[in-house]
Amino acid sequence: MSYQFTIVVPVYNEEDNLLRVEKELLAYIKIATKKTNVLFVNDGSKDKSQDLIEAICQRNLEFNYISFKENRGLSAAIKAGFDYVDTELVGYIDSDLQTSPNDFNLLLENIDEFDLVTGVRSNRKDSFTKNMSSKIANGIRRAFTHDGMDDTGCPLKVIKTEYAKRIPMFKGLHRFLPAMILLQHGKIKQVPVQHFPRMAGQAKFGLWNRLLGPLADCFAYLWMKKKYINYEVNKKG
């Protein structure tokens, strides 16, 4: 079966959410504007996530998985997803489902003209502390990258796979995906999407790693921007 779009779903200790992920992604696949499949990336979960993932993939042809030997972090899980997909488009959504898979269609409406389309969480349903720390972190990152994006932490994105595979991913740099596309002279856009409270499981990021991590990563990005190799082939024979 020829798919056009792969949704990468990073998973770390999300056993309480995975059946809902299955249900909502199956419902989305039926209305998706591109032929869609799903790739779970199990980031070394210590609960029953892997057993659930295997059961989901066994009963649904559209679902596949890869599983890490040990926990390597969200950036590594996203990078592995990008490495393993073979469709022309790749997206990702968090397994906590605080964003809706249905909103992928809003992003896909714009992907022909742009190389990355990211969601912007409107009317966020997070705590005051989480909202403020994210707002501050986004302001810091925007000052360093000049990417014009308001919410790079939004876990709902669609990218042309040829661009995604060229992203030099490092730990923490999943927050910099729009900026990484700009390094390739790609075009980016943000689109408002829905946001929901977390229904189950535990958040993986706290106050300090939302603020101090992004600040340190900004300096890593500046170094990378200076060293980044970008080229276009004019002729070959």
Q: How far is CA 131 from CA 9, 121, 139, 177, in A?
A: 23, 11, 12, 20
pLDDT of residue 50 exceeding 80: yes
pLDDT of residue 80 exceeding 60: yes
Q: How far is CA 84 from CA 40, 78, 94, 115, in A?
A: 11, 10, 18, 19
Q: pLDDT tens digits, residue range 181-213?
A: 998 999 999 999 988 776 665 655 555 555 566
Residue 187: per-residue pLDDT: 96
pLDDT, average across residues 127-137: 62
pTM above 0.75, yes or no: yes
Distance separating alpha carbons of residues 223 and 216, to the nearest angstrom: 11
Q: pLDDT tens digits, residue range 52-74?
A: 999 999 999 999 999 999 999 99
Residue 78: per-residue pLDDT: 95
pLDDT of residue 139 exceeding 80: no
Distance separating alpha carbons of residues 13 and 172, to the nearest angstrom: 19
Domains of the chain by range and CATH? 5-227 (3.90.550.10)
Distance separating alpha carbons of residues 234 and 32, to the nearest angstrom: 36
Q: pLDDT tens digits, residue range 96-118?
A: 999 999 999 999 999 999 999 99
Residue 36: per-residue pLDDT: 98
Q: pLDDT tens digits, residue range 144-185?
A: 666 777 777 788 999 999 999 999 878 877 888 998 899 899
**Most distant CA pair in the chain, distance:** 59
Q: Identify the band that residue 224 occupies on the pLDDT scale cut at 50, 70 and 90.
A: confident
From 204, 104, 86, select the one nearest 157 (Cα to Cα).
Answer: 104
For tokens 């020829």, the residue is 2
Distance separating alpha carbons of residues 189 and 21, to the nearest angstrom: 26
Residue 169: per-residue pLDDT: 79
Residue 200: per-residue pLDDT: 67
Q: pLDDT tens digits, residue range 6-42?
A: 999 999 999 999 999 999 999 999 999 999 999 999 9
Residue 201: per-residue pLDDT: 55
Distance separating alpha carbons of residues 14 and 12, to the nearest angstrom: 6
Mean pLDDT (the chain, rounded): 87
